[in-house]
Amino acid sequence: MNLDAFFATYRGWLQGVAPGVDATLRGPATEAEVDRYEETVGAELPAELRQLWAIHDGEAEAEPSGGTIGGLVFLGVAESLREWADWSSLRDETSDEDMQALRMFSASVPADAIQQEYTAAGWLPILKESMEGNYLGLDLAPGPGGQPGQVINFGRDEDRKAVISRSMSDLLGFIASEAQQGEIVVSSVEPRGLPVLAHRRGRLISVVRRLAESRGPLA
């Protein structure tokens, strides 16, 4: 599913199931903003990430109640860069010994597809678990068995990392399909009256990781 088709399909579903949530999606980011992001992270961005942010620059005022994409917060350019910078600071400020201890339990599924690290500069956060430091995002520095631009899970609680999909388009297409099949539901209503989304089977990050582990990257 291409990105334009995803948003057309998914926004229509939101309007029917979770009225008002789609209104939190922002307009497009500017090319200059995305260029600055690329310069800061020091890596060429995949064309589909540029396209994603050219459609919507993330969402506004999502936390602490959840986010638009299956309950995950869709990070815009500034928010993604802020999260990336926080992890960059952690890498700079953590001793080699402590970083070794943090990476001790890291695992990659499939083996060698993802760097066995606690955190890496090439991991770009795109979807975030509300109020938690856990993400689905793009891996621009994969392990020897991986592909640049693959989508992985990573973050504070994500020692076991998997190749979730080969692209953001594939992941978002899967989420749209889950929504249409009734697997993503309104779990509660936040104080402002907006519905809060969640997957029927628990944390969306865990759901997609388990599926990717059992049957390969989602498409």
For residue 191, pLDDT beyond 80: no
pLDDT of residue 134: 98
For residue 2, pLDDT beyond 60: yes
pLDDT tens per residue across span 23-81:
999 999 999 999 999 999 999 999 999 999 999 999 986 566 789 999 999 999 999 99
* pLDDT band at 114; cut points 50, 70, 90: very high
**123-128 and 73-74 beta bridge pairing:** antiparallel
Token pair belonging to 194: 């907006």
pLDDT of residue 24: 92
For residue 150, pLDDT beyond 90: yes
Residue pair 135/83 in contact (Cβ under 8 Å)? The answer is yes
Domain ranges of the chain: 3-215
3-215 sits in which CATH class?
Answer: alpha beta
